Amino acid sequence: MTVRRDFQEPARCRPDLVIGRAELLSAARDQLASGGSVLLHGPAGIGKSTVLGALDAEYAGAARTVLRCSATESESHLPFLALADLFGLVLDEVAPRLPGAQRTALESALTGRGESTLQRDGLALRLAVLSALRALAAEGPVLIVADDLQWLDPASAELLGFAARRLGGTPVQLLCAVRTEGQEYDRHLRASPPDTVAVRLGPLTRGQVAELLDHRGHAALTRAAVREIHRTSGGNPLFALELGRALAENPTPPRPGEPLPVPTSLRALVLTRLDMLSVEARRTLLVASAGARPTHALLHAAGRENAEAECAQAAELGLLATEPEGTAVRFAHPLISAALYAEAPAQERRAAHAALSTAASDPIERARHLALAATGTDPEVAARLAEAATQARDRGAPSVAAQLGLLAARHTPGDNRPGPDERRLLAAEDAISAGEVDLAQDIAREVLTRATRPADRVRAWILVIDSAGHTMTEVDAAFPHALADAGDDPRLLGLVHYQLAWRALIVEGDFTEARQAAAHSAGLAARGDDRRTELLALSLQAQVETLMGHPAAPATIKRALKEPQDPNVSCHHNGAGSARFRWLVMGDQLADARATVTALLREVRRRGQVESEVHFLRGLAETELRSGHCGRALDLAREGLHLAHDCGIGETASAMLTSLAEASGGDVDRGLALAREAVDHAEQDGDTMYLSRALGALGYAQLVAGDPAGTVRSLRRVRELEQSLGITDPARGRWQGDLAEALVRVGETAEAQDVIDSTREHALRLGRESVLAVLDRAEALVRAARGEHEAAVAQLTSAQDRFAKLGYGLEEARAAFALASLRERRSPTAYDEATRLFRRCRALPWLRQVDEAVSAPGSEPEPEPAVGAPAEPAAALEGLAAMERQVAALVMEGATNREIAARLFISVKTVEATLTRVYRKLGIRSRVDIVRLAAGRRAK
């Protein structure tokens, strides 16, 4: 696809921020730092020049000489132009050092005097370019930066390639970018130095496109619009920015189900090729662009008799992709389809939709085409669309249901029942289920401008409140309006008081008020015969009582689970199933909790309920983390965080949970950053409920990172917050043991014991066995600090056994680690058990702590043999610490340091340090000596 130069952003206008390219930037940096060259390649508009500019700015300072050129299509016919860009400013410096013939040829080529040509002066010119680069490199490193290699004039490209292939061992690096389609970069790679790495730039994700649009001033675009921009642009950043600009400047947004408006700058990419199509072929492609999943059979059914031949013509022009099976019709890029549709007159679009409304086999698709073919209100069309929306909802496609619902509302006459506003509100509720909260809020506020029926108004106010999520302070003004519109109707009042219960919990942090408001809502809903709201209110009441440690919680959960049930509530993230899951997790029933949340997650995915999916992904990740499956927990947490960012729902909670997973099984620094992000968001949103959870995650990450003082600061705040909130169940956040452990590390043993004693009282009352085991582990550290060594060892041993029986794998490993730290002077293999358990959990940050403990001074009391006097093979190998024996065993198998690091989840640097200790202990000098020792051992 050719991009016209007149709308490409000039490099000087691009911001320094490079979005979505962290991984490939890292690879390119590593290559450049090692002295190699980099060839960036990818399709037009993908961001090659942006990345090239960032790398140029970063590495140009390290070179003595930087040679730059940026070719253009309009100048590619001018011979030696790129060569002049590269060497024009340094000609005076290098010319005196060139042989006469080479100097003459180069000066002639660069100045245009003497009409030098490759045919006449080829060898001299080639050698001149090579000699010039070597002369410059003799004075210091040289960096050649070349953008748009595809437009280099052939003569310059030939000369540069000749020199590049012969620069081995010379400090000359190339940093180049070239436009390619697919993987067609071999020709340019062959003309690069032998040590060149090709780095392909691919499309951006939806989240990265959203970040890019936000950075360029299009933050007001809705998430639904961003999703459509990402789909239409194919993740191409330049195309996405052009589409975003057009949408932001368009006074009338596209109708539901219609493609985005495509700006003239992007239409120009394909219109020239469209003009080469026959009239009939263009009409066929218009029908294909209007269809959701076009095939040759669908086009035939829509009246396009010569579809195969016309599609073949389009494929030859590069408008359609060639499919192996030959049945599907797929555009070479989504932008081609959008531009074709945008260019077509409205009458032709309606004709295409009319044809598809009878040709499509899916009833939902037929209804959508019927709506887009019709104009004005039509009760029959509206009814068909409403039915299609119901089918989409039942199929688990609430986003599609929302679109169809809005189309139904547009075609619904004002005196119809249900009326247009009722259908809009139902569409808004579908939008919330799909995670499109911006759309839901826009619909609700539009309805409020004209609705007069109390039921419609209250329903709209509830949608405004619902779409605010945890930022409920932003919609405080909605509550008095909603109460006024509800009047004395118990059904409507039940809805409002349910939201007031959430406000008391999230904004005020008042658990008592939240519990009372939820109970009041359940009573009102029962009077109004609104079973759905009654079940939601009972579930909320049960969750609040669980967090409070209230004795009524089990009875309330039973009431919430009683028949009749509403299927939409039973799997809802605020429903009874969720309340039961939380009860199971807090009650140490991990197997049942996993089964429960897995079933809930499967159901909400089937229904397409995105907000509930985000919630239950967190729940499953939490369960896996408590079970000690850190790798699995990290994958789930990252998936949930990505989805939360995508839809703008539950971002604070997802960042908090991902922080815990990162600190347990991933990157501690990433865990710290996510926890701080969650704390900041909770404070900005006024979300007191999640502020304590976020601070708890921060304290844990600080503990793993080796910052006990930071842990104490964070978790003291949690303690104060939860005391003020009235939270008494220690299983809610499970931070108390971490606080006590950190207090011991900073020498505050008295306060640590106070935390343990006060927490134990509530844990005993509620029967929280895992919490009691955590407290015992922490108390053992207090005792050890006081010199009660034997008692500490006994208490830790007991705690470890109880964790194993309860299935808390990570906590069991932490107990074994603490036990090893008390026994380390007694046995060189004290850390074996902790290492084994942490590795089973894939708890990489904790494994690094074990390695640091093993490497610490004083942890190796055994006398070391003198170098050159190796010990007996069997005794020597068995006298190594756990990590040392494992590394030595892998060396015996012939594993490299990098392979050992990968298998043991440690860094290469750690492998090298461990081997150094092994050599010292065994009195040997190399890996070969380890193998010899092993051979001697086998011989005996």
Is the distance from CB of 396 to CB of 432 less than 8 angstroms? no
927 pLDDT more than 80: no
Q: How far is CA 923 from CA 196, 865, 929, in A?
A: 43, 6, 9
What was the pLDDT predicted at 266? 77
Burial class of residue 96 (count of CB atoms within 10 Å of its CB; 0-12, 13-18, 19+): exposed
457: which 2 tokens?
A: 């108004």
Q: Measuring CA to CA, which residue among 556, 551, 526 is closest to residue 540? A: 556
Virtual torsion, Cα 590, 595, 596, 602, nearest 10 deg? 140
Average pLDDT of the segment spanning 125-146: 89
Structure confidence at residue 851 as a pLDDT band (50, 70, 90):
confident
399: which 2 tokens?
A: 């986003």
* Most confident among 206-220, 370-384, 693-707, 822-836 (mean pLDDT): 693-707
What was the pLDDT predicted at 749? 92
What was the pLDDT predicted at 1? 32
- pTM of the predicted model, to two decimals? 0.64
Q: How far is CA 83 from CA 53, 60, 78, 585, 614, in A?
A: 20, 19, 11, 69, 55
Q: Measuring CA to CA, which residue among 668, 665, 721, 730 is closest to residue 694? A: 721
265 pLDDT more than 80: no
Structure confidence at residue 322 as a pLDDT band (50, 70, 90):
low
Phi, psi for 543 (deg, rounded to 5)? -65, -40
What was the pLDDT predicted at 861? 42
Q: Measuring CA to CA, which residue among 535, 507, 537, 509 is closest to residue 521? A: 537
Asked, as a colleague might, if the bond just before 334 is cis with ω within 30 of 0, I would say no
Beta partners for 178? 41
Helix (H, G, I), strand (E, B) or coil at 216: coil
**Least confident span in 106-115, 271-280, 580-589:** 106-115
pLDDT in tens, 374-423: 888 889 889 999 999 988 888 878 888 898 999 999 999 988 889 999 99
Segments of 481-633 assigned E as strands: none
* Most confident among 43-52, 382-391, 687-696, 800-809 (mean pLDDT): 800-809
d(CA 341, CA 524): 52
pLDDT in tens, 425-465: 999 998 888 878 888 888 999 999 999 999 999 999 999 99
316: which 2 tokens?
A: 């030859």
Q: Measuring CA to CA, which residue among 876, 889, 886, 887 is closest to residue 920? A: 876
Is the distance from CB of 441 to CB of 467 less than 8 angstroms? yes
98: which 2 tokens?
A: 């060139």
Beta partners for 69? 146
Average pLDDT of the segment spanning 755-780: 94
809: which 2 tokens?
A: 């794998």
Q: Measuring CA to CA, which residue among 640, 646, 641 is closest to residue 223? A: 646
What was the pLDDT predicted at 255? 65
Residues with Cβ within 8 Å of 538's Cβ and at least 6 positions away in sequence, in order, are: 518, 522, 556, 559, 560, 576
Buried b (16+ CB within 10 A) or exposed e, 661-693: bbbbbbebebbbebbbbbbebbeebbbbbbbbb
Average pLDDT of the segment spanning 132-158: 88
Is the distance from CB of 209 to CB of 19 less than 8 angstroms? no
The position carrying tokens 């229904």 is 607
Residues with Cβ within 8 Å of 520's Cβ and at least 6 positions away in sequence, in order, are: 497, 501
Q: Measuring CA to CA, which residue among 562, 578, 579 is closest to residue 611? A: 578
Q: Measuring CA to CA, which residue among 236, 239, 234 is closest to residue 266? A: 239
pLDDT in tens, 47-101: 888 889 889 888 888 888 999 888 877 777 778 888 888 888 888 888 888 888 8
Residues with Cβ within 8 Å of 275's Cβ and at least 6 positions away in sequence, in order, are: none
Average pLDDT of the segment spanning 200-205: 86
What was the pLDDT predicted at 867? 40
Work out the number of other CB atoms within 10 angstroms of the CB of residue 523.
15
Q: How far is CA 775 from CA 238, 692, 694, 736, in A?
A: 56, 20, 21, 8
662: which 2 tokens?
A: 């990162």
d(CA 97, CA 102): 10
In degrees, rounded to 5, the angle at the alpha carbon of residue 508 between the alpha carbons of residues 507 and 512 is 130
Cα 132 from chain centroid (whole Å)? 47
Helix (H, G, I), strand (E, B) or coil at 910: helix
d(CA 725, CA 505): 9
User: Is 738 or 148 the better-scoring residue by pLDDT?
Assistant: 738
d(CA 844, CA 529): 53
State the SS3 of 107-162: HHHHHCCCCCCHHHHHHHHHHHHHHHHHHHHHHCCEEEEEECHHHCCHHHHHHHHH
d(CA 757, CA 476): 40
Is the distance from CB of 685 to CB of 470 less than 8 angstroms? yes
**Least confident span in 35-39, 116-120, 608-612:** 116-120
13 pLDDT more than 70: no
d(CA 677, CA 671): 10
